[in-house]
Amino acid sequence: MELTTRVVNLVTIVDVVGKVDTITAPALESAMIAMLDQGVKQMILNFEKIDYVSSSGFRVFLLIQKKLKPLGGQMVLQQVNTQIMHMFKVSGFGPIFKFTDSEQNSLAAF
Amino acid sequence: MPQLKLFQKVLAVVVLVFVAVFAYVSIYSSDQLYRSLLAEYTSKGSAIVDSIVDASADLLLNKDAATIQSLLDQYRKIDGVAYVMVRNSSGEIVSHTFVPGVPPELDQIQKKIISKGHFKEAILTKVELPEWGEVIDITAPILLGEIGEVHVGMETASIRRTISEIIWQTQLILGLVFLIGIFLLFFLIRRISRPLQVLTAYAESLALHDFSSPVAIQEKIKRLTGRRRDEISQLAGAFIHLEDEIHSYVHRLKVSVAENERIQSELKIASEIQMSMIPTLTDIPAEIDVAAVMQPAREVGGDFYDLFRQGDKYLYVCVGDVSGKGVSAALFMAASITMIRAVGQSGSSPAEVLRMANSYLCERNDKGLFVTVFLGCLNLETGEFVYANAGHPSPYILNQAGGIQALDMTDGLVVGIEPEFVYLEKSVWLNQYDKLVLFSDGVSEAEDPDGNFFEEAGIETALTGLRGNASEVQQALFSTIEKFVNGAAQSDDLTLMTVEWKKEVLAINQELSVFFENDIQEIAKLHMVIAQFSKANQISEMVQMNMNVALEELLSNTIFYGYDDHESHKIYAYLSIFGDIFEARLEDDGIPFNPLESKEVDLDAALEDKPIGGLGIHFVKAFTHFLGYERRDNKNIVTIQIKTTEVED
C-alpha cells in the first residue's frame, strides 16, 4: 500500500494505492490518526487505486469516522470500486459512510 | 360283473368239493358194496349148495337123475345163480344146468379140488366163463365127498350190475343235490352281491360327484340300511355317513376357498396399486440414468423407492423400508411415499422434508410402525447431491473406474417415532458417471439356504470393479444376490435403485492445499494463492474478494491470537471447488477458538457505540454462505463456503 496526501480547497485528499489489509491497515490507521491530530477535519479517502480492503481496513474507516464525528468533521469515500462497494453493502456499514464517484463531487460535499 | 366273479369263485370251490365227494362216494361205496354183496352172494350160494347137498344126497344114492335135474333147474332159477352142477364121487357130472354143455373152464376147478383131496367145507373159486363173465364157483362136498359134490356158480356180473345201479342212483342224487345247491348258491350270491353292486356304483358316483347336491343313488343305499341288520347294511350306513361328511367338508372347503380367493384377488389389486405408486422411470432427465427394482417378499411389501422433480433444477431420490411385512407395512408405505413426495415437492431440503414427513407420520400411528428413509436431492446443474437419512442403510457411490465409497451418513432416527426429531443433511458432489447405489436391508439381509446374510460386505464385493451404465451395474448386483440366495425363500422385501450422474461439470473438485506460518506477512501469500486458484477456476473477482476478506480475517486472527507461545506454527488451508461452491478449510493447532461463538456486531447501534473489535468475524459471516467449526485432534478446523454463482448487485 502506498499513501500520499494533498490538500485541495482546505480538504485533505488521501490517495491510497494497493491493498488495505491486515498488514497495511495499521500504516493507514496511524497516518490518518496523525492527520486528525494535526487538525484535519475534512478529508477525502480516494479509493480509485484501492483494489482490496480487509476487515482491518474497514476497522480503520470506522475508527476515523467515529473520531471525526464529535469534532464536526467529515470523511468522504471516493470512487469505491464495485467489489468493495458490495462489501460495504453486505457488511451493513454502507449507511455510515458518504460515497462519491469523483473528486469534484467529493469537494462539493463539503 | 362282480357278482358273477364271486359266484364263479364259490362255484369253483363247490365243484371241487362235489368232485371229491363224488369220487369218494363212487370209489369207496362201490368197493364196499361189492364186498358186502359178494359176501351176501357167497353166503346165498353156500346156502343153496347146502340145500342141494342135503337134497341131493338121497337122490344121488338112489340114482334118481331126473329128480336131481329138476331140483337143479329149480335152483338155477334163483337170482344170481349162473349154474348148478352135481358130480358124483368119481367126478363125473351127474347133472347140470349148462346149455348145451359144461364149459371146459370148470374142469380146471375140478382138478384143483381133486388135488386137495377130500374136503369138508365149501371151496370158493373164481372162474371166468364166456357166458356169465366172472363167476364164483362154490363147491361143497356131499357126505364129505363120499357121494360127490355140488357146484353152484354165482355170477358176479349181477353184483356189479346192482352196484352200478346203486352207484348211478347215488350219483344221480348227488348230481341233483349239486345242481339244486348251485342254483341256490347262485341266488344267494346274487342276493349278497346286488347290494354290493349298488354300493360299488355308489362309491364310483361318489368319486365322480362334485358334491353340489346329494348323490342321486343315495336313496337306494338308504333302503339297504333299513331293510336288514347285517354287514351290508352297516357298510351302506357307513357310506351314507361318508357322503354326508364329504358334503359338509366340501361345503366348508368351498366357503374357505371362496374367502381365500376373495382375499387373494384383493391382495392382487393392492399389489397393483402399490406398484403403481412407485415411479415407472419413463420420464428420466437427460443428466441421469436410473435403474430400480422393488420386489416384495409377499403380495404387497413395505419397501419403496421414489424419484421426483422439484422444479427444473432438482431431482429427489428416495428409498424407504417400512418395519414389518405384508399389508400393514404396505399401508404405511403408501402413506410414507405419498407424504415424502408431497412435502418434497414444496421445495424444502431433504432434512426439512424428512422432518415434516416424520412429524406428520408420527400422528395417528398407534401401531408404532416406522420407516427408514434415505432422501437425497440431486442438483441437476451441478451434480451436488444433498441428502439426509432416517435410519436407512448407507448407499454407495460407484465411480467410473469401479471404485466404491459408502456415503457418509447422518445419524437420523427412523421416521414415525419421534415427532420433534430434527434431521441433519450432508452433501457430496457426483463426478461424471458416478453411480449412487441405493438399497433396502432386504439386500444386505438376503439369506442363502443356510440362513447366512448377504451383508454390506457382499454388496461391496459385488459392486467393486463393476463398470457399465446404471442398468448393467444393477443387473450385475442383482444377479450376484440371486446367486447367493440360491433359490431360498425371499425373507424380506428387496429394493435396489441405481442413479447414474452422466453430466460433465467443469472445474469441480479442483483442490489446493497450502500452509502458512504464524506470521502476519503470510497474508500476502494468502492473497496470492487465492488469486491464482481463482484464476484457474474462473472465479469472479467479487467472490475472490469475499474469500480473501473472510480467510484473511480467520488467518490473521489465528496468527495474532491463536498461540500463547512464541514458537513457529503451520496453519493449513485447503481450497476446493465443487459445483457452485468455493470451500476453504483452515486447520490450526492453536488454542481452541470457535468463531461462531463471537459476538455479533450491532449494526443498528449509533456510530459512537459501534465496537471496533469483533468486526472481522462479522465480515466472515457476512461474506460466506456457510461457516462451520469443529475442534478435532487438538485442532481448530474452520470451514467456509461461498457460492461461486454470487453476482454483483
Q: Does domain B32-163 have CATH number 3.90.1150.10?
A: no
B621 grid coordinates? 459471516
Residue B261 clears pLDDT 50, i.e. is over it: yes
Site from A47, A68, A83, A88 to mutate, B interface, most B CB atoms within 10 angstroms = A83
pLDDT at B508 exceeding the cut of 50: no
- Residue B55's pLDDT band (boundaries 50, 70, 90)? confident
What's the mean per-residue pLDDT of chain A?
90
Q: Which residues of B touch A66 (CB under 8 A)?
A: 607-608, 610, 612
Give the nearest partner residue to A62 out of B520, B545, B612, using CB atoms.
Answer: B612
Q: Read off the C-alpha cell for B69.
A: 335135474
Q: Which residues of B touch A1 (CB under 8 A)?
A: none
pLDDT at B377 over 90: yes
Q: Which fold has domain A2-108?
A: Transcription Regulator spoIIAA (3.30.750)
Position B509 pLDDT exceeds 50: no
pLDDT digits (tens, 9 = 90+) for B411-441: 889 999 889 998 988 888 788 899 999 999 8
pLDDT digits (tens, 9 = 90+) for B554-610: 999 899 889 988 889 989 999 988 888 899 999 999 999 888 887 766 666 655 555
Instruction: Say how many CB pairs under 8 Å bridge A and B.
Output: 76
Q: How many residues are given for chain B? A: 649
Residue in A1, A19, A52, A55 to test binding to B, most B beta-carbons within 10 Å: A55
Confidence band for B480, pLDDT divided at 50, 70 and 90: very high
Which residues are bridge partners to B307 per DSSP?
Answer: B317
CA angle B86, B91, B94 (to 5 degrees): 35
B455 and A CB contact within 8 Å: no
In this predicted structure, what is the pLDDT of residue B477? 94
Put simply, the answer to whether A58 touches B541 (Cβ < 8 Å) is: no
Is B543 in a helix, a strand, or coil? helix
* Pairwise CB contact (< 8 Å): B622 & A66: no
CATH architecture of the region B283-501: 4-Layer Sandwich (3.60)
- What pTM, to 2 d.p., does this model score? 0.47
- Looking at CA atoms only, how far is residue A28 from chain B in angstroms? 16
pLDDT on residue B507: 45
* Binary contact (B556, A56; C-beta < 8 A): yes
Question: Which chain B residues have a beta carbon less than 8 Å from that of A93?
Answer: 603
Answer yes or no: do A83 and B612 touch at CB < 8 A. no
Q: Which of B294, B255, B262 is nearest to B275 (CA)?
A: B294
List the domain boundaries for chain A.
Answer: 2-108
> Rounded to whole angstroms, what are the CA distances from A93 to A18, A85, B168, B608, B642?
21, 10, 155, 13, 20
Residues ≥6 apart with Cβ < 8 Å to A9 = A107, A110
Per the structure block, which three cell numbers stand in for B501? 450422474
Q: What is the pLDDT at residue B155?
A: 81
Are the Cβ atoms of B542 and A86 closer than 8 angstroms?
Answer: yes
Q: Which of B90-99, B177-186, B444-453, B618-627 has the lowest mean pLDDT?
A: B90-99
Of A21, A54, A82, the CB nearest to B648: A82
Rounded Cα–Cα distance for residues B49 and B232 (Å): 71
Q: Is the peptide bond before B214 cis (omega within 30 degrees of 0)?
A: no
Give the CA count within 13 Å in the CB-facing half-sphere of B471: 2
Residue A19: Cβ-neighbour burial (10 angstroms; 0-12, 13-18, 19+): buried
Residue (of B130, B124, B123) closest to B157 by Cα position: B130
Question: Does B605 lie at the interface with A, CB-CB under 8 angstroms?
Answer: no
Interval B350-371 mean pLDDT: 90
What is B510-643's CATH topology? Answer: Heat Shock Protein 90 (3.30.565)
Fold matches, B283-501 and B510-643? no
- pLDDT per position as a tens digit, B62-85: 767 788 888 888 888 887 788 888
Pairing of strands A11-20, A98-100: unpaired
- By C-alpha distance, the chain B residue nearest A96 is B607
> Distance (Å, rounded) from C-alpha A100 to C-alpha A108?
10
Domain locations along chain B: 32-163, 210-277, 283-501, 510-643
Enumerate the β-bridge partners of residue A61: none
Is A82 within 8 Å of B542 when comparing Cβ atoms? yes
Name the least confident of B69-78, B306-315, B405-414.
B69-78
Min Cα–Cα distance to chain B from A61, Å: 10
Q: Do B616 and A56 touch (CB under 8 A)?
A: yes
Cell 342224487 appears where? B173
Residue B570 per-residue DSSP state: E
Q: How far is A73 from chain B (nearest CA, A)?
A: 14
To the nearest whole Å, the CA of B528 is away from the closest chain A CA by 12
Which chain A residues have a beta carbon less than 8 Å from that of B534?
none
What confidence score (pLDDT) does residue B501 get?
A: 93
Interchain proximity B523–A23, CB inside 8 Å: yes
CB neighbourhood size of B224 (10 A): 23
